[in-house]
């Protein structure tokens, strides 16, 4: 069975990467926030998804 390339998810969902637009889009949708808010949160607490989630109060 081949991979479905239309359903992109981070390989390591514990870390937020801001290198690829599709990953930014994924995390923005996951947290329900804008790209600017995501970048600000990552700048404040680092790339840990758990830390960003806590910072956002999600």
Span 27-49, pLDDT tens digits: 999 999 999 999 999 999 999 99
Q: Kindly report the CA angle at 24 between 21 and 36, in degrees rounded to 5? A: 110
Which of 25 and 5 is assigned the larger pLDDT?
25
pLDDT at 9: 80
Cα dist from 31 to 4, 12, 39, 52, whole Å? 23, 16, 12, 9
pLDDT at 1: 46
Mean residue pLDDT across the chain = 90
Question: How confident is residue 18, by pLDDT bands cut at 50, 70 and 90?
Answer: very high
């Amino acid at each position: 069975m081949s991979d479905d390339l239309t359903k992109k998810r981070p390989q390591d969902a514990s870390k937020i990467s801001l290198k690829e637009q599709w990953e930014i889009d994924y995390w923005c949708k996951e947290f329900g926030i804008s790209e600017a808010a995501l970048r600000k949160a990552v700048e404040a607490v680092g790339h840990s998804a758990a830390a960003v989630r806590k910072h956002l109060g999600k």
